[in-house]
Structure 1
Amino acid sequence: MKNFHYIDVRQKDHSFKLTSLPAGLLTKIAYASVRRKDEEQGAVQRVLNGTRIAGIKDFALKMGDFPASIVLNWKAGQLSTKDNMIEIPDHENLAQILDGQHRVAGLKAAISENPDVANYLIPVAIYEGLDTANSARIFISINTEQRPAPRSLVFDLYGVMASNLMDPAAVRAGDIVSYLGSEGQPYEGWIKLPNQERQRGGVALSTAVSTIKPLVDDKGMLEQVGITELELQKGVFSNFFCALRSLYGHSWNDRGNAFIYASGFIGAIEFFRSHMFDYCKGKSSFEVNTIMFALDAEETVRILQADVKGLGGTEAANSIRDRLVGAFRPQTTASGFKI
Structure 2
Amino acid sequence: MANKIKTKVLSFSQGHHKLVFFCLDASHIWNNFAINRRVEDKDEGYQRTLSPSRVKKIAKYVSGGNTLPLSILVSLEKGKYRLENDFILLNNEPDIGWIIDGQHRVAGAHESKAKVILPVIAFLELNPEEQIRQFVTINKEAKGVPTSLYYDLLKHLPIGTPSERAKERAVDIADTLKQDEESSFFGRIVSITSPQKGELSLATFTKKIAPLVFENRGFLASYSMNEQVKIIDNYYKALKNTFPKYYKDDDSVFFKTTGFGALIRVLTTVFSYCLKIKKGFTVAEIGDILNEVNHFNFDNWKKIGTGNAAEIQAADDLRTELEESLSTESDESRIRL
TM-score by length of 1: 0.49
TM-score by length of 2: 0.49
